[in-house]
Amino acid sequence: MTHCVTQARRKLPIGIQTFAEIIGEGHYYVDKTGLAHRLIEQGKYYFLSRPRRFGKSLFLDTLKELFEGNEPLFRGLDIHPHWDWTVRHPVIAISFGGGVFQTRADLDEKIRELLDDNQRRLGVVCEHPSLSGCFAELIRQAHTHTGQPAVILIDEYDKPILDNITDPDTALVMREGLKNLYSVIKDADAHLRFVFLTGVSKFSKFSLFSGLNNLEDITLDPAYSALCGYTDADVDRVFAPELDGLDRAEIRRWYNGYNWLGEAVYNPFDLLLLFQERQFRPWWFETGTPTFLVKLLARHGFFTPDLARLRTGLEILSTFDVERIAPEALLFQTGYLTIHKAEEPLLGHWIYTLGYPNHEVASSLNAALLSEYTDDPSRSFAHRLRLLDLLLANDLDGLKDLFHAFFASIPSDWYRNNPIARYEGYYASVFYSYFAAVGLDITLEDATHQGRIDMTVRFNDQVYLFEFKVVELAPEGRALQQIKDRGYAEKYRAEGQPIHLIGVEFSREGRSLVAFEVETL
């Protein structure tokens, strides 16, 4: 798709989290200052959870420059005519984004360093020996020294905990250290103008904020769904010069779709790398393989097709803690699932349907899962390439041989030592993840007038209908017969494409694929 370039190309702000640098050095900037003004006018204490590399740090730095009254940076932006540039507030900026914290001593040293940096910048000196006492003194002195109440901006508030999430004992130690710091904010209200905390995960207020009950969580506020990230309109308006030569529909399919009950957004990191390299790749996913997340899903025996249509409630979705980590919450908060639909079947009781935000995450996460669900990641990659080749050639006999060979190649020791293989959905999960990792158009439990088809795949002008059965739970031969008996193919006949009915049967006891029957209409 060709776009008419009506504006000059600018610098791409890849990895830049400093507002002054973006504005001063001629980078593209998506104006979020209108939303910032609304937040400041409507409240005082805020919390926002967003996945990594979504622009949280840049937004906090924008707030810092705003409260410090650096008017030249905001000329031409939404907030400029609505802000009193004669008032300047002292800003206490704290970020745990740098470094890895493995002990409480590491954390305390970082906190001391951050407090010292803020003292030097604000021209005050704290005499209290304890970290919490010094923080409280810093807030009071900042107010007294400038005559204006202070602003507190805390970035990646949860990183010391998440760095140690696979070691619960250390994670709990980190949580207590942070709780000791954050608890100061509650009693400093008289000295504060505005407080904003951001992070990836939402830990419970009880466990981390010690009574800071007035902290307003805007994570799922529809008005602020696009506070971080780029909307479709942003892409067309701000980045128009970068779109020429790129398929606009593919940009949406690959990277759009993150949603927090409002307008959907793109991850900025993905688009900026796409515009620079001019290649569609899983740019965001490649910056952090979710090893812990994959192992957690395996340990819980997660049925991977459910990841495309997972239903959950607000209490599961909105918070977790070190002692109780719900996979659904972690998947959502880290950006591997997003909200597709919200329903209120009873007043005040909400049900959220989660799914992959886009093609990048769906294919990349399933590829990562296959590395855990099988014994040989390199062989898994080779099988994915072979699967694509066979589908392009419409070689159904080859497809049958591929999956027979794949399951037969997994050694028996792997089954004994891996908890994944102990649940009923393992074989169907692996089967589904292979197709999803290739990035095919998959519909799960596709509804027909006679029932639901387990998996429908559309590719290369062909329609593939899959039904999965475990032979110990159903008579052999039933998978293909069910597709035929229930007329699952009828809804697709009008499309005029070849329809392949494929019955796939697994043996729980034999740990193998025992049937792969095909009939083409």
Render pLDDT for 357-405 as a digit per residue (tens, 0 to 9). Answer: 999 999 999 998 887 777 777 778 888 999 999 999 999 999 999 988 8
Cα separation, 117 vs 54, in Å, equals 26
- Each residue's pLDDT tens digit, 26-41: 999 999 999 999 999 9
pLDDT for res 287 = 87
Least confident interval from 184-188, 199-203, 372-376: 372-376
Residue found under tokens 């037969």: 408
Q: What is the mean predicted confidence (pLDDT) over 104-123? A: 97
Rounded to an integer, the average pLDDT of 234-243 is 97
424 pLDDT band, cuts 50/70/90, is low
Structure tokens at 370: 């296959």
What pLDDT is recorded for position 208? 73
pLDDT (mean) for 219-241: 97
Q: Return the pLDDT at 476.
A: 61
Residue among 284, 280, 157 at smallest CA distance from 229: 284
For the segment 45-51, the average pLDDT, to the nearest whole number, is 95
Buried b (16+ CB within 10 A) or exposed e, 263-286: bbbbbbbbbbbbbeeeebebbbbe
Q: Are strands 192-199 and 349-355 parallel, antiparallel or unpaired?
A: unpaired
Q: Which of the pair, 370 or 290, is modelled with greater confidence? A: 370
pLDDT exceeds 70 at position 168: yes
Domains in the chain: ranges and CATH? 33-224 (3.40.50), 291-355 (no CATH), 375-520 (3.40.1350)
325 versus 277: the higher-pLDDT residue is: 277
pLDDT in tens, 71-82: 999 999 999 999
pLDDT above 70: percentage of residues in the chain: 93
Query: Looking at residues 416-429, what average pLDDT do you find?
Result: 73
**Mean pLDDT of the chain, nearest integer:** 90
d(CA 485, CA 257) in angstroms, rounded, equals 37
Q: Is the pLDDT of residue 330 over 80?
A: yes
**Lowest-pLDDT range of 140-149, 369-378, 498-507:** 369-378
* Residue 225 scores a pLDDT above 60: yes
* pLDDT over 60 (residue 5): no
User: Average pLDDT for residues 209-215, to the nearest whole number?
Assistant: 73
Maximal C-alpha separation, the chain: 82
pLDDT at 475 over 70: no
Q: Are 58 and 19 in contact (CB under 8 A)?
A: yes
Residue 428 has a pLDDT of: 83
pLDDT interval class at 452 (50, 70, 90): confident
In the chain, the percentage of residues whose pLDDT exceeds 90 is 66
pLDDT for 451 equals: 63
pLDDT at 1: 46
Does residue 154 contact residue 134 with C-beta atoms inside 8 Å? no
Give me the mean pLDDT over the 106-126 stretch. Answer: 97
pLDDT at residue 204 greater than cutoff 90 = no
Residue 2 has a pLDDT of 44
**More confidently predicted of 393 and 213:** 393
Mean pLDDT of 309-326: 81
Q: What integer pLDDT is reported at residue 394 of this predicted model?
A: 93
Which residues have a Cβ under 8 Å from the Cβ of 50 and sit 6 or more positions away? 56, 198, 200, 219, 228, 229, 335
The confidence score (pLDDT) of residue 477 equals: 66
Query: How do the residues of the chain divide into helix, strand and coil, expressed in percent and rounded to 5?
Result: 45, 20, 35
Q: Is the pLDDT of residue 134 over 90?
A: yes
**Residue-by-residue DSSP string for 433-500:** HHHHHHT-EEEEEEEETTEEEEEEEEETTEEEEEEEEEGGGS-TTHHHHHHHHTTGGGGGGGG-S-EE
pLDDT of residue 456: 93
Q: Distances from the Cα of 388 to the Cαs of 60, 236, 438, in angstroms?
A: 44, 33, 7
* Helix pair 426-438, 377-392: axis angle to 10 deg: 70
Residue 210 has pLDDT above 70, yes or no: no
